[in-house]
Amino acid sequence: TPPVVLDRVFDGLDRNNSCQALYAQNFNRGMRDAQVVRLLRVLQNPSCNIWCLNIGETYDVKAKTWRKFARGLRKTKVTHMYASEHTISTELKEYIRDVIRENRKKHTMHIDPDNLDVII
């Protein structure tokens, strides 16, 4: 999948506040540095309700970009995330884990019994 496809998805997510889970795994050719930064901007939009994120199998993203993404996660609602371990250092993975655990204090979408359609 070329990067332009994910660019259009992110354009749509800018205008959609009903999406709570984003499964963008295995877009290795499409998820590059620019797309990861763009995704972070989408997630940081106050109207974005994405709390569950899978961006695994993204092999062509630089460590510098992952560090920027990790730092920016504090300004999102992401409380659950999967990303491929081999593209992110152990230290950065631990940092991401700490940030998303802190994010769990921001909202209850991930534990709200009225949100089981998304949770399950």
- pTM confidence score: 0.93
**For residue 43, what are its two tokens?**
């997630």
Domains of the chain: 3-108 (3.80.10.10)
| Buried residues in 9-36 as b, exposed as e (16+ CB within 10 A) | bbeebeeeeeebebebbebbebbbbebb
Q: What is the pLDDT of residues 49-90, one digit of tens each?
A: 999 999 999 989 999 999 999 999 999 999 999 998 777 999
DSSP classification of residue 32: -
DSSP classification of residue 88: S
Phi (first) and psi of residue 83, to 5 degrees: -140, 145
Q: What is the pLDDT of residues 20-53, one digit of tens each?
A: 999 999 998 999 999 999 999 999 999 999 999 9
What angle, 0 to 180 degrees and rounded to 10, lies between the N-to-C axes of helices 3-14 and 33-44? Answer: 10
